[in-house]
Amino acid sequence: MQFSSDVENMFTQEEIEDILKDEQYFYIEHAEKNWLNRYFKIKAIANETKVPSIISSISDMPHGSSNFKKSKTEMFAIKTIQASEWLEILHSTIHSLSPIEQKLIELKYLRKRNDGSRYSDEVIYPQLFVGKTRYYEIKKEALEILGRHLYGVFAERGFS
C-alpha cells in the first residue's frame, strides 16, 4: 500500500491521465496497424492455392549453414501455416469481445465495399443501432482490448 501512495504523490492526476491515454493510444494503434490493417493481406496468403515451382536444389553445405537454401515449397508451406495461425489468433481474440464490439470490428475492418475500400463509420453506426458518440466509445474500447490481447503475439517467433 505504501508504494501506491508514494506513486500517487509523485504524479498529478492530470499526469496519470496523460500516461493512461498514451498507453490506450499505443494499444489502439497496435491493433489497427499490426493486425486489422494487415487482415486482407494475411488472409490472401493463408488462402493462396498457388504452388511454387518444385525444383530441388542440391548443396554440399551442412543443413545448419547460413548459406543453405530452404526449398521454395517448404518456405511457401511455412508462410501459409503462419498466416493461418495469425488469422486464428485474430479471430479468437475478436470473439472474446462483446457482441456489439465484434460486429463493429467485423463491419469496419474485416469487410470491404465492392470498390475495395472499407465502410465509413457513418455507414456502420446506424447498423449497430447506436449513436455516433457511443459508436466511437465502443470502437475505442474494442481496439484497445484487441491491442492489449494481441500485443507481443508472434514476437517470439519473429512472424511479421
pLDDT value of position 132: 96
Q: How does pLDDT run across 18-68, given as a tens digit for each residue?
A: 666 778 899 999 999 999 999 999 999 998 866 555 555 555 555 555 545
**With 90 as the cut, is the pLDDT of residue 8 above it?**
no
Q: What is the spatial distance between Cα 12 and Cα 18, in angstroms, rounded to a whole number?
A: 10
Distance, CA of 12 to CA of 61 (rounded, Å): 62
Look at residue 32 in the predicted model and tell me its pLDDT: 95
Alpha carbons 60 and 69: distance in angstroms, whole number: 11
Domain ranges in the chain?
A: 31-47+68-160
Q: Bigger pLDDT: 137 or 78?
A: 137
- Out of 4-13, 23-32, 124-133, 143-152, least confident range: 4-13
| Interval 63-119: pLDDT, tens | 555 545 566 777 777 888 899 999 999 999 999 999 999 999 999 999 999 999 999
Q: What is the pLDDT of residue 156?
A: 43
